Every structure is written in C-alpha cells, then in structure tokens.
Amino acid sequence: MTHFENTKSKELRSGMGEGLVEAGKNNPDIVALSADVKGSVKMDGFAKEFPDRFIQCGIAEANMVGIAAGLSLCGKVPFIGGFAEFVTGRVYDQIRQVLCYSNKNVKICGSHAGISLGEDGATHQTMEDIALMKVLPNMTVLVPADFNQAKAATMAAADHVGPVYLRLGRSKMPCFLPENEKFEIGKAQILNEGKDVTLFACGHLVWEALQAAEQLEKEGISAEVINIHTIKPLDTDTIIASAKKTKAVVTCEEHLMNGGLGDSVAQTLALHCPTKQEYVAVDDRFGESGTPDEMLTKYHLRSADIVEKVHKVLSR
Amino acid sequence: MKTTQELQTIARQVRRDILRMTTAAKSGHPGGSMGTTDWMTAMQFNIMHHNPEKFTMDGNGEDMLFVSQGHITPVIYSVMARRGFFPVSELSTFRMFGTRLQGHPSTEHGLPGIRMASGSLGQGLSVGIGAALGKKMTNDNHLVYTLHGDGELQEGQIWEAAMFAGAKKVDNLIATIDYNHQQIDGTVEQVMDLGNLKSKFESFLWTVVTIDNGNDMQQVLDGMEKAKSLTGKGKPVCVLLQSQMGYGVDFMQNTNKYHGSVLNEDDLKRALEQIPPTELGDY
C-alpha cells in the first residue's frame, strides 16, 4: 500500500496561521478578527504582518460574528478565529442569521476542536461542531487532516466565496501530506486504494486510518483510505464509487457519532447504495481532562479501534 | 430633499400601508412600525445619502442602514417602496407565498435595499459596526445607521457591540433606539428595566442625542441632523428616539397589544378613518 511518513508532528492551527498570512499577501481584502485568543488560534502572525487588517474583538464572539458580516459587505474577506466551541456552538444563531441565511463571505477558524484538545476538558472539547455547521444551508465545512492540509485549506477558503467553517485541532499531530498541495474544496482524496473495505476519515483520524490500513494489510485485508476533508459539500460520487467497490465501510472522526462525517456518509449510502457501515466516533457523551493521547485512546479513536471496527463490519 | 410637510404626507401614507399590509397578511407587527414611521421616512427621504434606484450590496460611496429589529418589516418595506427601491404595488405581496417581502428581512429573496437578514434580535449593531469599520478601511466617509427596539437592548450582544464601538472609536456610526417602552410581555420597565439608558451609553463611551418626540417630523429631522454633526469626533452616536408604539391611531397607542397582532377588517376601517388618504394613493 501507499506508505505515508510523519515528517514532523505539527499543530493544524499553526497551518491555518501560515495559510492566513499567505492568503493575506495574495489578497489585500483579507482581514482577521479574534476574540482575545489571537495567539492561541495562531492569528498573531497575520496581526504582526498586517496590523491594520487585524481587529481585536475582545471576549465577545457574538459581536465578532456580526462585525465580520458587516465587513464582508464592504468587500472584505473576514477570517474570525476562536476556540471551535465558542465560534460555533456559542454563536450558532448569529452564524445562522448573518453568515448563512445572509450568505456572507466570512471564514470561521475553529481551533482546539475535538477531544484531542486534552487537558482543558469537556467545556472546550467540542465534538458537536461539524454537526452544527453542516446543517446550515450555504455553509462549507472543511476538516483538514494535517498541518500542510490545514494551510492549503485556509488558502482555499480565502478563494471560495461564501461562509466556510474550518475545523482545526490544538495539539501536535503527524504531518504526512505533501507540502503545497492544492486543496480542492469538495473533492475527497483517495490516499490508498483497496478492495475489501473503505475507511472514510477526516481530521486527525486520517493518520489513524492510514496506520490501521497498514495493520490490516499485514492481515491480508485490503483497505481503501479516503480523506473526506470537506464534509460539505460532500463528495458523494467518490463515496458511492468506493462503497460499491468494497461493499464495507468504516467512518473515522474525532466527533460525536451524531451528526458528523459518519452520518453524512451513512445518508449518502442509504440513498444511493445501502452498504454496511461501522463508526469510529464518540458515542453521545462529553470528554474529560487528560493528555491528547489518553483521550484518543480512552475514547476509542485509535488505529487499533479502526482495525477492530473493520473486523466487525466484515463479519456482518 | 422633501419639505417637512411633504415628509408628513409620506408618513401618513406609510401608516395606511402598514395597517393595510398587516391586515391583508393577517399577521405582522404594526405597532413598532407605526411608531418608527416618522423616523424611517425622514431617514430614507432626507437624512441618508444613498441611491435607492441603483441599489448595490456593498453600499460603497453611500450611507447604509441596518434595521436590527427585523420584525418592523411593514414600515421598512413601505418606506423603501415609497422611496423607489421597488414598485409600490409589491407591498400587496407582504408575507404572502413567493414574495420578496418576507416576514422578516432577507437577502435570499433579492429585495433591493436589504443587505442583511434580521429578526433574531440583538445582531444589527454588530453588523453596523462591521460596515462602519469596512467604510473606514476603504476610505469611504459615508455613515452607517442602525435602528433597534428598546426591548432588544435586553440582548447581551448589544452590549458587546456597544462596548466595542465605544472602545474602538467607531465614530461613523449612528445607532437609534426606538424608545417606546413597550415589548411583547408588557412595558419595558415591567419586563426588564433598562435603567438610565442615556448614562448607560455614555458610560460605554458614546455620545447620546435624545429626540423628545419621535413622532414629530421636525424634531426627528433636527435630532438626526444633530446626530450627524456629532460623527467623526472619536465617539459613536446613539439617538434615543422617544416614540409611541402604534402612533397615528388612538386605540393602538399606549398599549403593546399591536406589537405583533394585527387589526381585523372592522378595526382597520376605524383606524383608516383616523389616517386620511393622501395624494400618493394606496398601493
């Protein structure tokens, strides 16, 4: 199978930060806003490079969303940055009314998403954000898999017209995708071709899916690994084609089972080619404090958990 | 520019429109609409520098208005139509299936003059700030206006925005509060007393202008001109517009009954007798 090397573990939020500076160089209309967390969400590079284009909003996320919407009217391309929970769940109605219903060109960068946030605990570990954002009409939802892809996704979001949610983790995670690879919104990435089962993964779980595929190969199971970096619009063609080929699916995500990638895939399969499916996701509960490693292990989001679900789906 | 008398005539026609639209739709919010009719008429015809015939979403090179309490669509739409944003005849479609005149303002249906959806309260001040900052960034020295209900000030986001605008010296922004003291569950004082609104805004680093009678056209014109003269001085400007909900029909005033309920056909006839027809004609 195609082997992927972890070149160096890096934070996805930092990929966003670098991408934002690049995008800012290319487009003078890009502005950034943050709610007292510009360092944490890695917008400090942009703020330093373009001080006149950075707006410090203080600890007031709802106001920040409205300001971004107003700025977009004047031709600006605002990127708002905050902890994922506080720039999605906390301000869901603001996003709904002035970004999505009004269809404004604003990008939401949600850092610290998922249970791999670790020590901060459940108040900050959002595992509902994909669900909240994907149900909104007009919204595009991006979940890049590593630092390099987070950078590319940020630049792609800058070029896309319309509201975008970009989901990013806080912790250092393997970096394994090529540098400077163009990010195509809505186009799933087939990382490894296989014939027995398909692993659809997003975010940090893409690396785990690749590790699982290597393990499965040793057992004689050929796993296709597809990176669904765009939850919406969903690349249904690629999903259907792969499911028809392998006839067994495992979805892998650092999110609740309800409303995440797995549900998007399940809906697609139910409508077009009913296929047996297992979820690697968190089942209807909140997280807790601990290291990122401890969290991913306890909540069964590891490559070993994916292997186990593959065995299960193949035995059905 | 219209004379005060011409504006009063337009306002009278707008009040007829509001009552006929809401009764025809069997729903809507006539009370706050009637109370802000004079302000809205003054704004759209005399105070604002904008180009209704050639509406652009970016509002570059013109003043912008965001009505944060989106439920007062009857007055928003009537004045916009009378000002030339879209045909007056379209007012008959208010809240009807397939209309561009949605119950609350929407951009999705392509009505000229609407730049942002509103209805979920408390968000328009933030949007206005964003547009005002955008104007500063693009060296456009036109103004941004917002309008808010007084009950709406109970939303926390308003105070996030008020704090931002004061602290960041957003001085190309004029926020008007429709201070009619009425909201759905009772008077504002009964539901959630706003205290001293003037000193609240002043302590948030705003300049405050009070219009004692928001249903007196001359006072509205003078008050808004004064507000304009106070922009560009390092502070956002707040206008406390002391209006009466339901103004223009005696049995609709001094009550919150018509905030979100409409007149039946008989009451409409009685009401319209108090608002004689104008040469502008009904839609």
Helices and strands (DSSP H and E) totals, chain A: 11, 14
Task: Please provide the average confidence, as pLDDT, over all residues in chain B.
Answer: 98
For chain B, the structural domain boundaries read 4-273
In chain A, residues with a C-beta closer than 8 Å to the C-beta of B132 are 70
Cβ distance of B115 and A73 shorter than 8 Å = yes
Q: Please report the pLDDT score of residue B5 as a whole number.
A: 98
* CA distances for B52 relative to A4, A210, B38, B113, B173, angstroms: 58, 58, 18, 7, 20
CA B23, B29, B30, B35: dihedral to nearest 10 degrees? Answer: -170
CB-based contacts of B111: which residues, under 8 Å, 6+ apart? Answer: B85, B86, B100, B101, B102, B105
In chain A, residues with a C-beta closer than 8 Å to the C-beta of B129 are 63, 66-67, 70
**Is B160 an interface residue toward A (CB < 8 Å)?**
yes
- φ, ψ of residue A298 in degrees (nearest 5): -60, -40
- Closest by alpha carbon to B39, among B166, B191, B209, B274? B209
Q: Which residues of A touch B (CB under 8 A)?
A: 31, 52-53, 55, 57-58, 60, 62-76, 78, 93-94, 96-98, 101-104
Q: Could you tell me what percent of chain A has a pLDDT over 90?
A: 100
Cβ distance of A74 and B117 shorter than 8 Å = no
Q: Per-residue confidence at A74, pLDDT binned at 50, 70, 90?
A: very high
The token pair that represents B170 in the structure block:
């957003």
Q: Please report the pLDDT score of residue B61 as a whole number.
A: 97
Cβ distance of B130 and A102 shorter than 8 Å = no
Q: How far away is chain B from the Cα of A105, in angstroms, using its nearest Cα?
A: 12
Would you tell me which residues 103-142 of chain B have a C-beta closer than 8 angstroms to some C-beta of chain A?
106-108, 115-120, 122-135, 137-138, 140
How far is A54 from A152, CA to CA, in rounded Å? 21
Q: Please report the pLDDT score of residue B12 as a whole number.
A: 98
Cβ distance of B58 and A97 shorter than 8 Å = no
Cβ distance of B133 and A75 shorter than 8 Å = no
How far is B176 from B209, CA to CA, in rounded Å? 9
In chain A, residues with a C-beta closer than 8 Å to the C-beta of B125 are 66
At A241-262, the pLDDT tens digits run: 999 999 999 999 999 999 999 9
Looking at domain B4-273, its CATH superfamily turns out to be: Thiamin diphosphate (ThDP)-binding fold, Pyr/PP domains (3.40.50.970)
Helix (H) / strand (E) containing B9: helix B4-25
Cβ distance of B131 and A74 shorter than 8 Å = yes
How far is B77 from B52, CA to CA, in rounded Å? 13
How far is B196 from A71, CA to CA, in rounded Å? 31
- Catalytic-labelled residue, pool A5, A11, A49, A61: A61
Q: Which domains does chain A have, with CATH numbers?
A: 10-173 (3.40.50.970), 189-310 (3.40.50.920)
Catalytic (active site) residue A61? yes
Find the mean pLDDT for residues A28-45. 97
CB A173 within 8 A of CB A144: no
Q: Please determine, for residue B254, whether its predicted confidence score (pLDDT) is greater than 90.
A: no
Residue in B with minimal Cα distance to A60: B160
Find the mean pLDDT for residues A219-243. 98
Q: Per-residue confidence at B32, pLDDT binned at 50, 70, 90?
A: very high
Helix (H) / strand (E) containing B227: helix B217-229
ipTM of the prediction: 0.97
CB A197 within 8 A of CB A248: yes
Q: Please determine, for residue A213, whether its predicted confidence score (pLDDT) is greater than 90.
A: yes
**Is the full-model pTM beyond 0.90?**
yes
- Amino acid at the residue B142: H
How far is B179 from A281, CA to CA, in rounded Å? 51
Helices (H), chain A: 12-26, 44-49, 61-73, 92-94, 129-134, 147-159, 205-218, 236-246, 261-272, 292-298, 303-315
At A127-176, the pLDDT tens digits run: 999 999 999 999 999 999 999 999 999 999 999 999 999 999 999 999 99
Residue in A with minimal Cα distance to B135: A74
Find the mean pLDDT for residues B55-68. 97
Helix (H) / strand (E) containing A230: strand A230-232
* Burial A123-152, CB ≥16 within 10 A → b, else e: ebbbbbbbbbbbebeebbbbbbbbbbbbbb
Q: Is B280 exposed, middle or buried (0-12, 13-18, 19+ CB in 10 A)?
A: middle
Q: Per-residue confidence at A19, pLDDT binned at 50, 70, 90?
A: very high
Of the candidates A52, A62, A98, the beta carbon closest to that of B160 is on A62
CA dihedral sign, ordered B200, B202, B205, B209: positive
CB B135 within 8 A of CB B176: no
Task: Please provide the average confidence, as pLDDT, over all residues in chain A.
Answer: 98
Cβ distance of B58 and A31 shorter than 8 Å = no
Q: Please report the pLDDT score of residue B269 as a whole number.
A: 98
Of the candidates A52, A58, A66, the beta carbon closest to that of B130 is on A66
At A172-192, the pLDDT tens digits run: 999 999 999 999 999 999 999
End-to-end CA distance of chain A: 25
Q: Per-residue confidence at A125, pLDDT binned at 50, 70, 90?
A: very high
Q: Please determine, for residue A85, whether its predicted confidence score (pLDDT) is greater than 90.
A: yes
